Amino acid sequence: MSGESPTITVIHFKGQIVPFEQLYKTNFKRLLTKARSLLDDDGKAEDAVQEFFVQLWERKSIEITGSSVEAYLMMGIHYKCLSILNKEQRVNKWKQGYVYALLAQDINVPNLLQESPREEQLKMLEKAIDKLTNNQQEVMRKCYMENRSQKEVAAEMNIKVNTLKSHIERSLVKFKSFFQEKCGTSL
């Protein structure tokens, strides 16, 4: 191994080799700006750009066809960000569906008090909510019972949207655990 030279990623554009390091240094800020505009989150944008360059690096040899390297990179980060947003949207839709099912008027949790009246079901839901921290309770009530936006609730509570999302995720885990325990089954 010591006698072998490391494999270097080569970018070919119009018959010329573009050094990867140069490509990275001259385009990182521009791609980061593009990612920020699409993702609206500095941390996610930086992660997206880093992941994009890692994916380029792992390909080892890239032949870029088209009008410019910059256009290729911009389209690449654009599609990377859209992929991230699409995944987040699917996850959020699933989470919202799960919470709405629990918080909706007709709570339909398998084996949960099936013969019990709606009042009993609501009491069970209140017990599950009582297991949450004060902040988690506030977030769940405002976002799901009052049907308010995450941005609005985060601003009112003076916390970041990502912190609010963490409260929601932790609440969902606690809900799932609570109902699994009560139902004796997995949801």
Q: Is residue 80 part of a domain?
A: yes
Q: Is residue 4 part of a domain?
A: no
Q: How far from each other are the two terminal CA atoms of the chain, in whole angstroms?
A: 51
Q: Is residue 41 part of a domain?
A: yes
Same domain, 114 and 75: no
Q: Is residue 63 part of a domain?
A: yes
Q: Could you say which of 24, 59, 88 is where a domain stops?
A: 88
Q: For the packed helices 150-157 and 161-183, what is the interaxial angle rounded to 10 degrees?
A: 110
Residue 23, domain CATH? 1.10.1740
Q: Is residue 177 part of a domain?
A: yes
Q: Is residue 52 part of a domain?
A: yes
Full pLDDT tens readout for the chain, 187 residues: 444 434 556 677 667 777 888 888 999 999 999 999 999 889 999 999 999 999 888 877 777 776 788 888 899 999 999 998 888 777 666 655 555 555 543 334 444 445 455 566 667 777 888 889 999 988 988 887 777 888 999 999 999 999 999 998 888 888 778 877 776 555 4
User: What's the structural domain count of the chain?
Assistant: 2
Q: Could you say which of 88, 122, 153 is where a domain stops?
A: 88
Residue for token pair 């308010």: 148
Same domain, 79 and 28: yes
Q: How many residues does the chain have?
A: 187
Q: Is residue 173 part of a domain?
A: yes
- 39-to-5, 91, 96, 108, 182 alpha-carbon distances in Å: 38, 16, 20, 35, 39
Residue 175, domain CATH? 1.10.10.10
| Residues near 157 by beta carbon (within 8 Å), at least 6 away in sequence | 135, 138, 139, 164
Both tokens assigned to 33: 């700006």
Same domain, 32 and 61: yes
Q: Could you say which of 34, 55, 88 is where a domain stops?
A: 88
Q: Is residue 60 part of a domain?
A: yes
Instruction: State the pTM of this model.
Output: 0.49
Full domain range(s) for residue 116: 104-183
Same domain, 152 and 113: yes
HSE at residue 11, side-chain half, CA atoms within 13 A, is: 20
